[in-house]
């Protein structure tokens, strides 16, 4: 009898050690915390939502095939409501409270610029999937991106305007407090005029404005062949409708900030017919990688993916690859591996991170037809 007591006491002891051990594991040591900050709400909500969806696909894929360094990835997502001030709060929370080892975010350049200095100071690697303003990655050596930058995007739209559309007289309509918009306009002005194009008028607006008629009337008076609007979809939707209302019939040209299922909502579907914008990837691309991704995305989310989701998926995969190669979750080691990223087979193309921590990739121009985005051409770097 005594022996039985002894055996069961030992068994209880081993069992309780086991329970303590596994519950310790549950509270963090068997997971790798990755942070994400996005505009899940607010006037650029589709940017954040698409980006989040793409990143979740990447996390699930890696977790389902055994995880990273023998651990599962635990994605911690924060909504900054599309605000730079909220961005600083949530990035600090991810780093200080959640102890994330790396961060993915944001789509909009102004918010990446708000989050990046905090990541840099804490030596936490940050990858922006989609911010194209050149200054974002100049903030420091912990800040990376997996997309092209705006001087290139400006060249793409200048070449498209002049070579493909024979448009040599253009007006600019700029979101004056948005770093992405003003930066891209500066780049465009420079490239387009150096190629022989003429900027016949420049007007400004502020994100959230509802009435653009004064600016559009001033533009109309100069009789441009097209208007270049480097802005975000919520404003462009209204601008396009009001342009047609005052009798401006020329095509509108835009940039990646246009890409959203909400761009062509309501009357903008007709207003934007025959307009064009540059972006990162086209769903019409027959490449098997792109088509496989679209299939996966559709079966999980029951809708079409857009550029942000492709880019966030690639940002996640490149980060996980760097953590694997670093064989460590230390910020400095991950950063060193990210910097070495070369010929990574992303869904948005072959990705090499250059010395400035940017990706050099082609862009596509899409045409708006019947409210849909149809592939027009690819312009290589």
Q: Which spans of this chain sit near ligand PHE (rule: CB under 6 A)?
A: 47, 107-109, 130-133, 180, 256-257, 259, 307-308
The least distance separating ligand PHE from the CB of residue 276, rounded to whole angstroms, comes to 15
The least distance separating ligand PHE from the CB of residue 249, rounded to whole angstroms, comes to 26
Looking at the chain, the number of H-run helices and the number of E-run strands are 13, 14
The least distance separating ligand PHE from the CB of residue 266, rounded to whole angstroms, comes to 20
The least distance separating ligand PHE from the CB of residue 217, rounded to whole angstroms, comes to 28
CA 362, chain centre distance (Å): 16
Paired sense of beta strands 169-175 and 126-128, if any: unpaired
The least distance separating ligand PHE from the CB of residue 307, rounded to whole angstroms, comes to 5
Cα 233 from Cα 258, distance rounded (Å): 4
Burial 224-235 (b: 16+ CB within 10 A, else e): bbbbbbbbbbbb
For residue 105, CA distances in Å to 213, 223, 288, 300 come to 34, 40, 27, 22
* Residue 107 or 379 with smaller CB distance to ligand PHE: 107
Residue (of 136, 51, 36, 128) closest to 91 by Cα position:
36
* Residue 91 or 308 with smaller CB distance to ligand PHE: 308
* Residue 126 or 307 with smaller CB distance to ligand PHE: 307
The least distance separating ligand PHE from the CB of residue 363, rounded to whole angstroms, comes to 11
User: Would you say how long the chain is, in residues?
Assistant: 381
Cα 316 from Cα 77, distance rounded (Å): 13
The least distance separating ligand PHE from the CB of residue 263, rounded to whole angstroms, comes to 10
* Residue 105 or 257 with smaller CB distance to ligand PHE: 257
* Residue 35 or 48 with smaller CB distance to ligand PHE: 48
CB-based contacts of 184, cutoff 8 Å, min separation 6: 132, 133, 150, 153, 154, 230, 255
* Residue 86 or 201 with smaller CB distance to ligand PHE: 86
Provide φ and ψ at 178, rounded to 5°.
-110, 115
* Residue 47 or 313 with smaller CB distance to ligand PHE: 47
Residue (of 59, 62, 18, 55) closest to 40 by Cα position:
55
């Amino acid at each position: 009898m005594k022996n039985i007591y002894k055996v069961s006491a030992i068994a209880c002891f081993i069992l309780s050690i086991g329970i303590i051990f596994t519950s310790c594991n549950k509270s963090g040591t068997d997971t790798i915390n990755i942070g994400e900050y996005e505009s899940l709400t607010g006037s650029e909500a589709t940017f954040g939502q698409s980006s989040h969806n793409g990143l979740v696909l990447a996390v699930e894929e890696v977790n389902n095939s055994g995880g990273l360094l023998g651990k599962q990835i635990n994605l911690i997502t924060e909504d900054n409501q599309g605000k730079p001030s909220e961005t600083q709060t949530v990035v600090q929370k991810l780093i200080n409270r959640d102890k994330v080892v790396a961060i993915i975010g944001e789509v909009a350049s102004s918010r990446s610029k708000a989050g990046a200095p905090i990541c840099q100071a804490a030596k936490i690697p940050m990858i922006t999937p989609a911010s194209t303003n050149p200054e974002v990655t100049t903030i420091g050596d912990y800040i990376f991106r997996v997309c092209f930058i705006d001087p290139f995007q400006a060249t793409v739209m200048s070449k498209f305007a002049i070579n493909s559309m024979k448009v040599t007289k253009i007006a600019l309509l700029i979101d004056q407090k948005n770093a992405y918009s003003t930066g891209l306009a500066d780049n465009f002005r420079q490239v387009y005029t150096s190629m022989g194009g003429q900027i016949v008028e420049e007007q400004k607006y502020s994100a959230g404005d509802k009435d653009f008629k004064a600016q559009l009337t001033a533009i109309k008076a100069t009789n441009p062949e097209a208007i270049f609007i480097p802005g975000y979809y919520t404003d462009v939707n209204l601008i396009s409708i009001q342009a047609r209302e005052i009798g401006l019939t020329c095509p509108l040209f835009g940039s990646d900030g246009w890409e959203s299922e909400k761009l062509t909502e309501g009357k903008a579907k007709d207003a934007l017919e025959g307009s064009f914008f540059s972006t990162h990837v086209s769903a019409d691309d027959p490449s098997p990688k792109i088509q496989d991704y679209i299939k996966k995305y559709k079966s999980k989310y029951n809708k079409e993916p857009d550029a942000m989701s492709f880019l966030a998926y690639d940002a996640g995969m490149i980060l996980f690859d760097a953590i694997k190669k670093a064989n460590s979750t230390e910020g400095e080691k991950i950063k060193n591996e990210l910097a070495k990223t070369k010929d990574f087979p992303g869904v948005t193309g072959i990705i090499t991170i250059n010395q400035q921590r940017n990706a050099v990739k082609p862009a596509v121009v899409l045409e708006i037809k019947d409210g849909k985005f149809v592939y027009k051409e690819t312009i290589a770097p």
